[in-house]
Amino acid sequence: MATDRDLDRTRERIMTAALTEFAAKGLAGARTDAIARRAGVNERMIFYCFETKEGLYREVLRRKLSEKVHIIESSDDDFATTLVKGYESCCDDMRHVRMWQWEALDSGRRKIVAEEERRALIQREIAQIRRAQLRGDLPADIDEDLLMLVRIGLQIAPVALPQFTRLVAGMDPDDPKFRRRWSKCLRAIADRIAAPRSAAGHRHRNASEVQQNVQ
Amino acid sequence: MATDRDLDRTRERIMTAALTEFAAKGLAGARTDAIARRAGVNERMIFYCFETKEGLYREVLRRKLSEKVHIIESSDDDFATTLVKGYESCCDDMRHVRMWQWEALDSGRRKIVAEEERRALIQREIAQIRRAQLRGDLPADIDEDLLMLVRIGLQIAPVALPQFTRLVAGMDPDDPKFRRRWSKCLRAIADRIAAPRSAAGHRHRNASEVQQNVQ
């Protein structure tokens, strides 16, 4: 008889195979028999462990979410560092980026899988941005939810649209040289977003205020 | 016998139907019989007019490219305006955004359709950015190709990943209220990117220089 440990290993193998299949074909296109074959298990084990294909998909997403929760809780990074780390995490596992894209193309307006957990997680990230605004580390004149979308766009775009990265920069998004260049660019953009706007020289301000700042 | 004008109308109907089908299923998934049915023409007309499914796809892309060429040539907008217009154009025709996404998921590393024309067009946009840098309107310490990718990311992201827009902002990306909010946000971000960095108050500079600027 299978021990608990055997079952854990089987679940693990299925989830690894499922991530690859979902990244290749999306939830709608993925086939449980292909996942079973890739994992080297009987297809019935998928239904025994996860009930449905969607149940398996949810578990694959949940694992990613729990990694993110850990990262959010364990760090109090500034906007620039969070942005660069978020981008590097996209590069390190492009399969999740592909899953988001399949979902975008696939789902139309129907309810997405694990919606409530995902909303709760993103709202925690938005709350972090809000705290940074209150500390004066991010501009208060841009809504915190939109700053979150700015972050998502900048960290995902070159990975999600690799053909544009190649057309624009002549490099694949997973080229280490491109990764270094983009990380540096993200930091420069984030610094500019974070910089106190009132201090920009081409806007009007009181010269004595400026002098206080530069001392 | 069909006149030239009839043929033009038929081509037009096929291209309109093709855009919808390619947006729904991508190049690989699109079916010429479905396009013919949607256009109300005999499927053979597709092959008569465009030779292959890929030939039709190329023409659909070329039409979009020629619209973009027109926009680029007729305007000398600043970074913020180009960014906002680019975003609005994504909203006005989400079908093209979906085509880029299918392409991203579909193509892996194989040569994309109309690659040379697309590269040439993007390089013209990058040259515009370079000129703005030389005029001092954009920072010179961020490479021009990466500024182009920043623009692409910011203008496409909320449309390409509508589920994130809903999770983050609680609105659909085509909601007029969201569109207004995001356009305003893009303008604020672009202004911050464009602002002269040396003038930021938390960086060191000579106070008399600052005074010259604020006068």
Hey, CA dihedral for B164, B167, B169, B170, is it positive or negative?
positive
pTM of the model: 0.87
Chain B segment 137-176 residues within 8 A of A by beta carbon are: 139, 141-143, 145-150, 152-154, 156-158, 160-165, 167-170, 172
Q: Cβ–Cβ of B98/A105 closer than 8 Å?
A: yes
Q: Dump pLDDT digits (tens) for A12-69.
A: 999 999 999 999 999 999 999 999 999 999 999 999 999 999 999 999 999 988 888 8
Report the residue of B150, B151, B156 to disrupt the A interface, i.e. the one with the largest count of A CBs within 10 Å: B150
* B18-32 b/e (C-beta count within 10 Å ≥ 16 → b): bbebbbeebbeebeb
ipTM of predicted complex: 0.87
Q: Dump pLDDT digits (tens) for A75-95.
A: 778 999 999 999 999 999 899
Quickly list DSSP for B21-65: HHHHHHHHH--HHHHHHHHTS-HHHHHHHHSSHHHHHHHHHHHHH
CB B171 within 8 A of CB B159: no
- Smallest CA-to-CA distance from A10 within A47, A37, A41 is with A41
Residue B111, phi-psi category: left (phi > 0), alpha (psi -120 to 50), beta (remainder)? beta
Q: Which residue of B has its CA nearest to A98?
A: B105
List CB contacts (< 8 A) between A144 and chain B. none
- Smallest CA-to-CA distance from B197 within B151, B140, B148, B144 is with B140
Angstrom distance (rounded) from CA A65 to CA A58: 10
List CB contacts (< 8 A) between A180 and chain B. none
CB A151 within 8 A of CB A84: no
- Smallest CA-to-CA distance from A60 within A83, A40, A35 is with A35
Q: Cβ–Cβ of A156/B158 closer than 8 Å?
A: no
Q: φ, ψ for residue A191 (rounded to 5)?
A: -60, -40
Half-sphere exposure of A127 (CA within 13 A, CB side): 8
Out of A134-138, B74-78, B129-133, B167-171, least confident range: B74-78
pLDDT exceeds 90 at position A209: no
Distances, alpha carbon B173 to alpha carbons A54, A108, B151, in Å:
26, 12, 17
Take residue B54 and report the two structure tokens written for it. Answer: 């890929």
Domains annotated for chain B, with CATH where assigned, are 7-60 (1.10.10.60), 75-195 (1.10.357)
User: Could you give the dihedral angle defined by the CA atoms of residues B65, A166, A101 and A22, in that order, rounded to the nearest 10 degrees?
Assistant: 140
Chain B segment 78-107 residues within 8 A of A by beta carbon are: 98, 100-105, 107
Burial of B81 (0-12, 13-18, 19+ CB in 10 A): middle
Residue A133's H or E segment, with its range, is helix A115-134
Angstrom distance (rounded) from CA B87 to CA B80: 11
pLDDT exceeds 90 at position B60: yes
Q: Cβ–Cβ of A143/B201 closer than 8 Å?
A: no
Q: Which residue of B has its CA nearest to A122?
A: B168
Chain A segment 12-41 residues within 8 A of B by beta carbon are: 26
Burial of B33 (0-12, 13-18, 19+ CB in 10 A): exposed
Which ranges in A135-175 belong to alpha helices (H)?
144-160, 162-169
pLDDT exceeds 60 at position B38: yes
Q: Grade residue A4 by pLDDT with cuts at 50, 70 and 90.
A: confident
Q: Cβ–Cβ of A167/B109 closer than 8 Å?
A: no
User: Which residues are CB-neighbours of B106 under 8 A, at least 6 positions away?
Assistant: B26, B27, B28
CA distance A40 to chain B (A): 26
At residue B202, the pLDDT reads 42
CA distance A9 to chain B (A): 30
CB A98 within 8 A of CB A201: no
Tell me if chain A has a CB within 8 Å of the CB of B120: no
Q: Cβ–Cβ of A214/B204 closer than 8 Å?
A: yes
CB B191 within 8 A of CB A196: no
